[in-house]
Amino acid sequence: MSACNNCTLYKNCSRVVFGDGNPEAEIIFIGEAPGKKEDELGIPFVGSTGRILDKMLASIKIKREDVYLTNICKCRPPENRDPLPEEVSECWPWLEKQIAIIEPKIIVTLGKYALNSFVPNVKISEVHGKILKINIPKLGELKIFPLHHPAAARISRKTRTLFEEDFAKIPSLLKK
C-alpha cells in the first residue's frame, strides 16, 4: 500500500495512512481520508476530529486500541478537499483487503462518503444509526452501521446529538 500510485493523491501527500488499532477488532471505523495531522503522523484520526472519536469511544468504554480505524482513501487530498469518485474506487481494493483480514462484526462508516462507498444512493440523513446488511462479492455479508462524520458533529449541534445517540447504540450491537 505504501508504494501505491493507483490515483494521483500520492503525489501531494507525505505518506500513506494505512490504519490503526487492533487487527482482530470486532468493529472497524471507516472515515473519509487523512487530514493534515494524520498525514504528518501516518495515523488516522489523530487530529481534532480524532479527539471527538476518542471521546466518544471513552463514553462507551471501548478503548481505541481495541477497535480498528481507517479511511476509504489512504492518502490526504490536497487542502482536505472531498475525495473524488475515482480516488475512492482506486483505493477500494485496499479497504477490501483490510476488511477481509479483520473480519469485523460491524463496520461503522463515518460520513456520507464512507457510507456511499458501501451503499450507493442512500442518504445518511435517512439511514444513520440503523444496521444495513449488504452483500459484497469478495467479502460476503457485511453489517454496516452508518454514523454522521465526527467533523460534521462538531459543526452542527443537531448532528452532534444524532451522532452521540447513534454512537451509544454500539455496545448493544456488539453484544448481539
Contacting residues toward ligand URA, per CB under 6 A: 31-35, 38, 44-45, 47, 49-50, 71
Rounded-to-integer distance, Cα 153 and Cα 78, Å: 23
Q: Least CB distance from residue 144 to ligand URA, whole Å? A: 16
Give the nearest residue (CB) to ligand URA.
Answer: 31
Residue 92, classified by CB atoms within 10 Å of its CB into exposed (0-12), middle (13-18) or buried (19+), is middle
SS3 state of residue 133: strand
State the minimum distance, in angstroms, from the CB of residue 135 to ligand URA: 25
Cβ-based nearer residue to ligand URA, 112 or 141: 112
Beta bridge partners of 28: 68, 107
Nearer of residues 32 and 90 to ligand URA, judged by Cβ: 32
The distance of closest approach from Cβ of residue 88 to ligand URA in the complex, given in angstroms and rounded to an integer, is 12
Q: Nearest Cα to 36, choosing from 79, 91, 87? A: 79
Query: How many Cβ atoms from other residues are within 10 Å of residue 20's Cβ?
Result: 20
Q: Name the residue among 95, 99, 93 with its Cα closest to residue 142.
A: 99
Give 85 or 140: the residue with its C-beta nearer to ligand URA.
85
50 versus 146: smaller Cβ distance to ligand URA: 50
The residue among 51 and 135 lying less far from ligand URA, judged by its C-beta, is 51
Contact at 8 Å (CB) between 15 and 40? no
- Report in angstroms how near the CB of residue 121 gets to ligand URA at its nearest: 21
CB of 71 to ligand URA, least distance (A): 5
Beta-bridge partner residues of 146: 109
